[in-house]
Copies of this chain bind each other. A is one copy, B any other.
Amino acid sequence: MAQAAAHPAPTGQTTSRPATSGPATLARAAVGESEFDRDTAVVRREEGVYDAELSAGWTIIHAVNGGYLLALLGRVLGDALPHPDPFSVTAHYLTASVPGPAVIRTEVVRAGRTLSTGQATLYQYAEDGSEVARIRVLATYGDLDAVTDEVRTTALPPAIPPLDQCLGTEAGGDVIPGSSAITERLDIRLDPATVGWALGKPSGKGEMRGWFGLADGRDPDPLSVLLAVDALPPTSFELGLKGWTPTVELTVHVRCRPAPGPLRVAITTRNLAGGFLEEDAEVWDSADRLVAQSRQLARAPRG
């Protein structure tokens, strides 16, 4: 397993890129050969037990991003369960993960004909070597290639301006102090209507919208969708709140396999109350299909 500090260049691809480059300007990393794939890779130690190395490349300040962790656990369950694709994944974030080694212990709860349900818990190691639970995931998997083509949706894609009219997250560099390595690995372009926070003028609306891609141009798949739902700045920034918004629980429904090309992500918070808020995210693909719906419960920043 690759260590977090050593990212070998994928065969036939380049990983060098300017920080402001977009997916359209890059030689694209293929699915399976991207930095995202290497950093979410796991090694099966024995039946149901996997070793992983949480990469420092997906941190916000010092914390490992929750969407990256979800994608890694999603990959584990795709191996441990008889079905390949996440249909419904719920994660409870127990303690803050840090870059370094981790072990994931899984359980097949039920293996059905079209759906199977499993559980995965990610542990890291205390100084005395004991295991500390970081995240517990309960998920139902299926085969997205086996779902019917029927679509009767009333949902409409979010009104996000074209990619070249949206703004890179570097605009918010002074708002998120400290090292945020993850921003180098993502190509996020925010809707100008939801970047007031970066200019000291938050809209007051609980909305965050933007284009989402991986910086090395890798096309989306169900695993990167698990990352996408928790990769934009928190809606609380546009509510005028600074500081950390730690996720308590996050559930994602992946509804179809995403088409190639950048995703659009729209996040809404309607109820900030009692020190908690929800973030509802929709993910749309380049074919204008609703790929995923997610909701998280998070602690509201005190700021």
Q: Which residues of A contact B (CB under 8 A)?
A: 87-88, 90, 92, 94-95, 109-110, 112, 115, 117, 119, 121, 133, 136, 138, 140, 144, 147-155, 205-206, 239, 248-249, 251, 253, 255-256, 270-276, 278, 289-290, 293, 295, 297
Q: B155, A270: Cβ atoms under 8 Å?
A: yes
A contact patch SS: strand
**Residues on the B chain within 8 Å of A275, using CB:** 147-148, 150
Q: B248, A251: Cβ atoms under 8 Å?
A: no
Smallest beta-carbon distance A243→chain B, Å? 15
Q: Would you list the 9 A-B pairs with minimal beta carbon distance, nearest first?
A: A147-B274, A155-B270, A88-B249, A90-B90, A151-B273, A152-B272, A138-B138, A94-B110, A153-B271
Q: B290, A251: Cβ atoms under 8 Å?
A: no
- Report the bound CA distance from A297 to B147 in whole Å: 14
Q: B249, A278: Cβ atoms under 8 Å?
A: no
* 5 sample A-B contacts, Cβ–Cβ < 8 Å, listed by A number: A87-B248, A94-B109, A110-B133, A150-B273, A293-B295
Q: A256, B278: Cβ atoms under 8 Å?
A: no
Contact A90 to B154, CB < 8 A, known contacts A256-B273, A276-B147: no
Q: A293, B273: Cβ atoms under 8 Å?
A: no
Contact A249 to B140, CB < 8 A, known contacts A148-B275, A290-B271: yes
Number of this chain's copies in the complex:
2
- Report the bound CA distance from A239 to B275 in whole Å: 37
Chain B's closest residue to A147 (CB) is: B274
**Residues on the B chain within 8 Å of A138, using CB:** 90, 92, 119, 136, 138
- Report the bound CA distance from A276 to B149 in whole Å: 11
Q: A253, B278: Cβ atoms under 8 Å?
A: yes
- Report the bound CA distance from A270 to B270 in whole Å: 17
**Residues on the B chain within 8 Å of A110, using CB:** 94-95, 133
- Report the bound CA distance from A87 to B278 in whole Å: 12
Q: A92, B140: Cβ atoms under 8 Å?
A: yes
- Report the bound CA distance from A206 to B153 in whole Å: 9
